[in-house]
Structure 1
Amino acid sequence: MNKKVVTYLTAMLLCAASFWAIGDRQTTTVQAATHTLTKTVMHNAQAYSRLGKKVKGSYPAFSTIIVDDQLVIIGTQPHAPYYKIANKKRYIKASNIDGVKRKLTQNSYVYVSSRQKAGTKVIKKGSTITTYGSAYRFKNGQLYYRVSGPQRQYIKAKNLGPVTGSSTEETTVTVINSRGTAIYKDEDNIDTINKRVKKGTKFRVDRCEEGSRAEYIENIIGQFVPNAVIYRIKGTTHWLWGLDVKANKKLPVHDYNAENFTYIRFNQDVNVYNADGTMQDHHGQKIRKQGGSFKVNKLLYIWVPTENKVELFYHLVGDEFYSTHPEVSEKIEVGDAYVKQNEVEFFLGIKLKPSNTVQDALNQAKQNNSN
């Protein structure tokens, strides 16, 4: 997957264009050197591929491993980056190494086994605890999270709330721009400048992100850098422009678009349909096979009367697309439109689930026919 292409194409959406293509702007990308880190595995760790599939290999608790310092995001699960094993095409979950943060929902003891406490000290409700990996089920049938090492120490899972964060995704950044930097609000729009801060100011940040939000700030500043990132100030909805600050360590880079939206590709010419399953008439024109990716926001079953069956369709976000016969009309306007799932290719982002059932589609078709 070429994220540079995806990121650039997504930026075009901000200009209200439904078709995205590579422009002629000349840019230079500076790739950060990859270094290695020595880490201790705190929870038995399964190895995964870059696509998030389990592969042969595992790493036992309290073993030492060497990983690349640039973490990667696989999938869209929150607080779940991966470390790449140095010189191998293997990845393991950072939560098995650095852990994740949770809050105690009630006073708790630390245990070394289901029957033996690690001590008499009670950890108070509301305290933030770092847990490692998934929960273990002990012989007494209860689930426990590992919370320390190298000795095995655990807290009952039922006493802990959901994940609230991870040190893997936190660091301190320092403003290095001699003119200082702006702070951008993320409310209805991310282009509102809150205030400017001086060079040397430090911030604790908890997310590094590329994608359309970063590109929006990039367009305001006029500093065009492929895969430019922004940092979120911890505990806020405020952001810093990545080139104005220096981070103490590398953070995993989230792709805002991939984690929030769904994109398809037209790998063949396709017809366009209405919500009632009828094909749109564009005088023989179709959406043509083309590069780039296109945003969709719904997957649903629709009865197709000409085929006498139900099919799965994506709902298109854009309403104007390049046509198969540009000599007649370069683009066709489709309005509120759908394309068959089996005629396009899922490309990036959230894999949508059908928002209705086959029976729902049949019932809707009967209602349409009765009106």
Structure 2
Amino acid sequence: MKLTKKICLAITALALVVTPFLVNCNQIQTVAAAKSSKKTAKGKITLIYGAHLYNKYGHKIKNKNKYLPYAQDDASGYKYIYSFNADVMKYYGTRKIKDQKFYNIGNGCYISTADIKEVNGKNSKKGKLVLLQKSAVYTKTGNKTGHTLPKRAIVKYQGKVKQVKSRPKYYYSKYFKSDNDEHFFYLPLTKIKRKNYYAIGKNRYVKAYNVASLDGYPLTYNGVTTATVLKKTATQTLNEMKTKHILKKGQKIKVDLAVTPWAEDFEGYIFRLHNHHDEYIDENCINLRNYLPTTDYSDLTYSFVTAKTTANVKLYDATGKPVGISFNTAKQSDFNVDGLFYIWNAATNKAELYYHLLSNNLDRKALINNDGTQLKAPATDKKYGPTILTTSEKIIAANSFVKASDVKFSWGIKLSPVNTSLAAEQKQKVATDSDKVKLQKDFDSGQQTINESVHYDALMQSYDYALANAAVVLRSSKATLAQVDQAIWLLKTTKTQIKTLNFPEFA
């Protein structure tokens, strides 16, 4: 994942069921201080995650007519402060409400201590967990003790938190300035009758599934959790296109991943439906039970490989022959790929694996001729100015490969071969006109689509170049069955990408 995207996730990983409208942290502090100017601040607090506001009776504040400049309304209309907009807030005293401490932040608003991580810079939740809901206390044999802890109870745990390299079942994460990377921490679990528990005393346990935070960090559940639909809505695809699948208000659904969708600015997560992995629902439409692992749109959309060495990486055509151009790895060593093919190499008499580069992913600044010289600049239209590519240049842009042996998988979707090594060998026969019927049909259909569309967009341009490649294969009297199959694949793939990709991402 890119560094900037990791940072974005780090900043926003604490938000769950919130609206996409953000408020300014400085505004929170300034306005709150102005409203409470007659009081002297007792100190500062920071939040674990987003927090609801309560009145002095411990009731959530729900008043559309009440203007609170440092809060927004959540999906149900209750006043809510978003953790990523309130890193540090002033408080003016505390109040005990229903046996729990609340912090007065002014304007008649209070925040529960269960939602607070730091008080005056000190982590008040170190060594403690906060319960998500009312939870029974169990013995090691799995029997209930008869004692039940209330919702949002703060409890000391037993055991020591450990760091781990990969995401365990339950964990929290931190980002360190030294490497700007995500680091995972977990508290060892106790297995009782196949369920996970945390120890909170001698022979006393609570279900891990009922824990909201640990050590002042949201506890992430690396599994499948439930969500309640808050309003009638249609699900959407990863690139935010509505589907025909309608969810009803009050419906319980299963979700398993929080995804940052493609957008210029982060506006909240979409959640993947566990039983419909191509469908997602916006966070504003659900009430989520547990925090889920987060990932990025790019991780679920693209596949990246990286050059194994600092040597320049050669480009090949659909027959495995060098096109005379290489990537200068000093300028670009990561490549966005969308297909993995076995291509028969007549010279070595064997099939080798090649990655197909995502069309239009060739950055001319990173390309050089195989002899090390610079590429010749493409022609331009004297009247209109846009670059004009020759047919061969279009084919290189749309249908280039790198040897799998020259690169290694980096991140994103791990690809499987489109064909087999045996098929690559068997399809070296020259294709007849009858073998090209499907390609001709797809070409004719695609040509009509291009003629009826405005195709200056990069994805439409890739499809245009795929058509140019198909035209060459159709005209060639030497094109093999393998080339025909690959040309059909390229047309289908680039056409699909027009609808499924928001943009052709570069490394």
- Fold match (TM-score > 0.5): no
Higher helix share: 2
Question: Which protein has greater RCO, CA pairs closer than 8 Å, 6+ apart?
Answer: 1
Instruction: Classify the TM-score, shorter chain.
Output: 0.3 to 0.5
